[in-house]
Amino acid sequence: MKPFNLELAKQGHPVCTRDGKPARIICFDAKHPIYPIIALIENGGSEEPYAFSIDGIYYVESIIKDKDLMMASVKHESWINIYRNENGVITPGRIYESKKEAIKCRMPDTIDTIKIEWEE
């Protein structure tokens, strides 16, 4: 998770609470001087509405709250071919979007094609 970013949230990037619950922002301009953001937070199969400051803060205080908004991590998955070079050192190849594409581009000295995953 990364700190809440109003501009990214407005662009549709995924948002969650500090404790990891998915949040769906339905309004950035509620007529309230402190809490213009309205988001629905998933809770046990349903959604509950909460109001937030433009900084994604659930309740304006210096205390960090579990319901504060954060930018959710986005999971990525790609594939790479693993090679052994002429010195016997194992090295990765380039990153491919699909396993099929990685396998298609294998070289004779390919050891394996593996999936890699990361979050941003």
**Average pLDDT, stretch 26-53?**
95
Q: How is residue 87 annotated by DSSP?
A: T
| Mean pLDDT value across residues 36-42 | 96
Q: Please, which pLDDT band fits residue 60 given cuts at 50, 70 and 90?
A: low
Domain spans in the chain, listed from the N-terminal domain onward: 2-71, 75-119
What does the pLDDT look like over 62-76, one tens digit per residue? Answer: 666 899 999 999 899
The answer to whether the pTM exceeds 0.95 is no
64: CB partners within 8 A, 6+ apart: 18
Q: How high is the pLDDT of residue 43?
A: 87
Collapse the DSSP code of 15 into the 3-class scheme (helix H, G, I; strand E, B; otherwise coil) and give the result: strand
**Pair of tokens at residue 57:** 């803060």
